[in-house]
Amino acid sequence: KLIKSTLTAALILTSGLSIAKNPIIDNVFTADPAAFVHNDTVYLYTGHDESPSNNVFFQMHDWLVFTSKDMVNWTQHGPIMRADDFKWAKGSAWAAHMIERDGKFYFYTTVRHKDDKPGFAIGVGVSDNPLGPFKDAIGKALVTDDMTKHTPNDWDDIDPAIHIEENGDVYMFFGNLVPKYVKLKDNLIELDGPIKVIDVPNYTEAAWVHKKNDNYYLSYACEFPEKICYAMSKSIHGPWEFKGVLNELAGNSETNHQSIIEFKGKDYFFYHTGGLPPKPGQESGGRFRRSVAVEEMKYNPDGSIQRIIMTTE
């Protein structure tokens, strides 16, 4: 035990920060990571897979959050919000993203809308605390399926991801099969202009935008089963130059969903896999029983990103 602690300490000392063994959460099934750095802490927001079997479609009712100050030890909190906290929604707590402005925390989520506006929708939760609880910030959906009829399916308006520009302008990226973005008003709960379509190849879902130095990066789940691809631009408005696959198929989960952050001088890539082994009397991880994992991410001198090496494979 002493040798193990000494080795761990040495690893932390030589590399600055160590990283947890994947999947980083193993007591509950988690998906769709959205990491957020606040006050020297990583807040890892996740969906919560509760399907009893990989033959039963997503059963997702609420969102969880896990915190860490060292990327090794994670503390579970939550649920921070349930899909049915939106009175106009009827379940499906799919992918979400957290941001902060002026001491308030805004949680952009995917949910299924009730039958008066069928299809998926994007809602916004708000709280004074990043650990919640969150309440509906608007009392209605920010985006409904009838506003985004780009595909025959009713979920082309899922997976919100927010990017805040240095001048304070806020943009929401989202979509399934057709990637889209829209500016938000300063109040963060209204659209400020039209929803625009983005031109990148092989897009499936899970858009995430981040900026490093002068480069904007749009990463997204591509093809199906999903890999993560990415594109680069010098402007939030594009054009986006396709740069290829960033992360290969993540084991047996079919979907893949990434979140990219910088924390204490290192860059990290969160994703999910179906790799959790079975517990007695239960099915193993898989496409509807997913688990969040993380890897260190490295940039090349030209700003492109090195292919992620998955320690989960």
Q: Which is nearer to ligand FUB, 159 or 295 (CB)?
A: 159
The reply on whether position 173 binds ligand FUB by CB under 6 A is no
Q: How far is the CB of 220 from ligand FUB (least distance, A)?
A: 10
Q: Which is nearer to ligand FUB, 233 or 256 (CB)?
A: 256
The reply on whether position 31 binds ligand FUB by CB under 6 A is yes
The reply on whether position 83 binds ligand FUB by CB under 6 A is no
Contacts for 13 with CB less than 8 Å, ≥ 6 apart: none
The reply on whether position 82 binds ligand FUB by CB under 6 A is no
The reply on whether position 46 binds ligand FUB by CB under 6 A is no
Q: Which of 32, 136, 154, 295 is catalytic?
A: 32
Q: Is-catalytic flag, 205? A: yes
Q: Which is nearer to ligand FUB, 158 or 162 (CB)?
A: 158
Q: How far is the CB of 94 from ligand FUB (least distance, A)?
A: 3
Cα 105 from Cα 30, distance rounded (Å) = 21
The reply on whether position 63 binds ligand FUB by CB under 6 A is no
Residues numbered 127 to 166 that lie near ligand FUB (CB under 6 A) are 158-159
Q: Which is nearer to ligand FUB, 6 or 61 (CB)?
A: 61
Q: Which of 85, 205, 226, 295 is catalytic?
A: 205
The reply on whether position 34 binds ligand FUB by CB under 6 A is no
Q: How far is the CB of 269 from ligand FUB (least distance, A)?
A: 15
> Which pairs count as long-range contacts for 150-154, CB under 8 Å and 24+ apart, including other chains?
150/175, 150/177, 150/178, 150/180, 150/197, 151/176, 151/177, 151/178, 153/177, 154/118, 154/119, 154/120
Q: How far is the CB of 167 from ligand FUB (least distance, A)?
A: 29
Q: How far is the CB of 183 from ligand FUB (least distance, A)?
A: 22
Using an 8 Å Cβ cutoff, are 195 and 215 in contact? no
Q: How far is the CB of 253 from ligand FUB (least distance, A)?
A: 8
Q: Exactly one of 63, 94, 108, 181 binds ligand FUB (CB under 6 A); which one?
A: 94
> Known catalytic residues?
32, 205
Q: What is the binding site for ligand FUB (CB under 6 A)? A: 31-32, 47, 58, 94-95, 110, 158-159, 205-206, 255, 257
